[in-house]
Structure 1
């Protein structure tokens, strides 16, 4: 559900049609599409933005919010974050054609939103950043044939590794090992490097990160964000429009702005990171988050960028605030695993989605939705997922994922569950995790 978003009841004056500019000339009269997981001011779709001539289009799209039953908090988080991002652009003087979910005439599909915006504004060009999902990329490619305007799909440069970078690394390899890819990302970024050697004399400190949580260990209170007026309006919309979707909106506490995301990062660096490494593989009854970051929804929606997050963690180690095993383990999750699964997804799609190594075909049990099971760990993970649209990686991998593997659940069924229930879930990240883990 990345693909959509605002205030489209008010139609903007159509832009005059212009002939395509000569090569190298500045682009004017451009319609710029932003998707719901592209809430980054430096996104390539906004490169060269001319507020005097260009229009940014965002839309809250029914089809994208419901092709799986996305968690109510996930929809509310994205719709509210989109509205806040659109307002921030408008405060800069950018014209934003924002189509709210309940706006009269909202076509309900991304195809329809884009076609209507092109007809409204008559731009010389339609510019966008590549999406995070194969399905949407194919949709964009079709626009080149169906829309009466040149369509430009720009690369997503918010990742450390481009598609070509991953393909170059993968070429000639019989096996794709995240550890070796991660080392290349360390070299490329310089993170935790001393010249060409890893800080501390080794690449990976995972062996130190498997401690049992001691009795009485004090857990940090996690930063939550009371809903503002915009978010409260969105929450009411989601309750009204998606009543049968999974999850509850009670206690919604996700941040919805860049400033909120930075505050959440500050909170993690100060109170979570120092003990994240030791206990990152631990679980404790009644402890939802332990020392985990709670920043993945912000990263995957674009409110934070991976390198700024990693550099904050590296600085915490350099300043003596957090130990190396914690910082290395955290950075590995981002420039190692996150970059690796994204590269793998685009390298192997579309055939990757149909693979089924263990020939598993059982349907997903109903208790993944209801939590009604005597298996205490599964019930606890479904409960925290229902309440928060979040679970940390051990809960996902070793509880819900491990059961699905042992029980022979069809990969597509568990993939769609992960995609639906977590606020940070997009196909590029959840599909390779299911198939690879």
Structure 2
């Protein structure tokens, strides 16, 4: 038995000093291993800004660990001796340090967990995999909750999480007398709306070094680095959070579903990349938001809507990912087979809503949740684009996209590929929804109020085309009773007109050229 140190690998989304794998360790008897491996930057061809964010945050976190007395063995992306994989680098580090064991916090992604489970057989030392205590609902608790129910709806899970955390509770009752204030959080876009600026962070020497590295090694990847300003340390993330809580949270709820041309952030928090990397603590964030409401600075609908996204949706999505994997990765309940269009990468489309969503994604590695769900996701659903290609795209292009959060949102919520395990109905909508919630349609080449023909908004005919081709699978859904009743009341000529208009548009879609995503 070797007398060497215990090796503690810390992954790029585990940048928390309270990480479970560090909690019981003595720095004198521990080597922290951090690895920038090419496999992780290229299993999908991630947005350049996403790669810079993760690598810069890792390097800053390594410096913090060293300042706190930890020994850190750091493998850089351009290390000529690197094997390019977690398993290969861990094996090298075990030999390099004569480690007597490995202690690691469970990963967020299925494929990495499969690799970890194999370490016990390949490394020749004891491997201890610990739960990720940064989440508020341990996975065994979620599985128990799910196992006791026929329908796994987020709203009921969220109520349990409110009770568990005590957030926005008055005894055993919800504050304000309601669990959910979503009805107050659907304000449409207002021309001239000028939200406060989101704080940006000038790249320091470490980040500049990473930018140079990524521009050299990932030149063909999607995205721009010209506006890189994401927080890469916990201190910067705290500054970003404070600015949101004081300047944008009061109107976050009202405008969280709104879309305005050129207004890429509106009143959103933009803290999800930092939160998913481990730079912020989810419960602490929610306590801060609750405090703003208690102090009378924020309306309850804004605080509740924001807190629901973190302790409700985020925790629920993580649980559903681990409950449904690995089948979720290949799910395709609606048998969608169309390839991803090229314009999802180039943004070259006359559809203003989609062009804007791709533009902000390219420029910022960010688009807010309604752009993702009701513009991009809605289009992919209506057009019948293969879920795996859509998921690869979302995973590649967004700074906050870890598979555990991206895949259930795309395959389950946006594309109904799981057959309704996650969402009670497909999130399908015509152009009227986008017109109501945005200013895009007024400057679009297509006419949103025109239903069919070459000048009509493509979403209008695609909506009925989607319902018609999926009638055998979806007609029994109670929440689609009214749309199907409307479809059946249409004359055969009107139905044929919608279907022909949709088919004519679909023939114009050029498939993405190979190599964009993988």
TM-score category of the 2 structures, normalised to the smaller one:
over 0.9
Moved over 2 A (4+): 213-218
Is 2:394 the partner of 1:408? no
Provide the secondary structure at the position in 1 that maps to 2:29.
coil
CA distance in 1, matches of 2:148, 2:197: 48
User: More displaced, 208-217 or 108-117?
Assistant: 208-217
Counterparts of 1:150 and 1:312, CA distance in 2: 40
CA distance in 2, matches of 1:427, 1:262: 25
Matched, 1:360 2:336: yes
CA deviation string 1:414-437 (max 9, x = no partner): 001000000000110011111221
2:258 counterpart of 1:273: no
In 2, the alpha carbon distance for the partners of 1:353 and 1:101 equals 28
Determine which of 282, 298, 313 is the counterpart of 1:322: 298
Is 1:17 matched with 2:2? Answer: yes
Q: Distance in 2 between matches of 1:357 and 1:196?
A: 39
Alignment correspondent of 2:283: 307
What does residue 498 of structure 2 align with? none
Tell me how far 1:218 sits from its aligned partner: 2.6
CA distance in 2, matches of 1:103, 1:138: 25
Give the secondary-structure state (helix, strand or coil) at the position aligned to 2:7.
Answer: strand
Please give the alpha-carbon distance, in whole angstroms, between the structure 2 residues aligned to 1:298 and 1:42: 15
Superposed CA deviations along residues 208-258 of structure 1, whole A, max 9, x for unmatched, are: 011123333331111000000000000000000111111011111011100
Alpha-carbon shift at residue 143 of structure 1 (Å): 0.8
Alignment of 1:132-151 (within 5 A): 132-151=108-127
Q: How does 1:57-96 map to 2 (within 5 A)?
A: 57-96=33-72
CA distance in structure 1 between the aligned counterparts of 2:388 and 2:192, rounded to whole angstroms: 40
Aligned partners of 1:172 and 1:325: how far apart in 2?
A: 30
**What does the per-residue CA deviation read over 1:17-54, in whole Å, with 9 as the maximum and x for residues that have no partner?**
22xxxxxxxxx821000000000000111121211121
Query: How far did 1:104 drift?
Result: 2.8
**Residue of structure 1 in register with 2:505 after alignment:** none
Whole-angstrom distance in 2 between the partners of 1:434 and 1:229: 36
Deviations 1:85-143 (A, max 9, x none): 00000001110000011123111111111111111011111010110110000000011
Name the structure 1 match of 2:211: 235
Q: Tell me the alpha carbon deviations over residues 320-346 of structure 1, each in whole angstroms, 9 at most, x when there is no partner.
A: 111100000000001111000100011
Deviation track 1:266-301 (CA, whole Å, cap 9, x = no partner) reads 010011100000110111111101000000000000
- Mapped to 2, the partners of 1:76 and 1:352 lie a distance apart of 29
The residue number in structure 2 matching 1:256 is: 232
Pairing 1:106-255 to 2, within 5 Å after superposition: 106-255=82-231
- C-alpha RMSD of matched pairs (Å): 1.0
SS of alignment partner, residue 80 of structure 2:
coil
> Residue 348 of structure 1: CA displacement?
1.3
SS in 2 for 1:52: helix
**1:391 corresponds to:** 367
Distance 2:143 2:227 in 1: 43
Q: Give the Cα separation in 2 of the matches to 1:430 and 1:154.
A: 23
Match of 2:420 in 1: none
Residues in 2 aligned to 1:59 and 1:145: alpha-carbon distance in whole angstroms? 21
Q: Distance in 2 between matches of 1:111 and 1:164?
A: 26
3-state DSSP of counterpart to 2:27: coil
- For the residues of structure 1 that align with 2:284 and 2:108, how far apart are their CA atoms? 20
Match of 1:23 in 2: none
Segments of 5+ residues of structure 2 without an aligned counterpart are 414-518
TM-score normalised by the chain length of structure 1: 0.93
**Residue 357 (structure 2) aligned to one of 365, 376, 381:** 381
**Distance in 1 separating the partners of 2:411 and 2:81:** 40
Gaps of 5+ in 1: 1-15, 19-27
80, 89, 101: which one aligns with 1:104: 80
Asked which structure has the greater RCO (Cα within 8 Å, sep 6+), the reply is: 1
Distance in structure 1 (CA, Å) of the matches to 2:191 and 2:393: 33
- Residues 83-92 or 347-356, more deviating: 347-356
**CA–CA distance in structure 2, aligned partners of residues 259 and 328 of structure 1:** 25
CA–CA distance in 2 between the matches of 1:268 and 1:99? 35
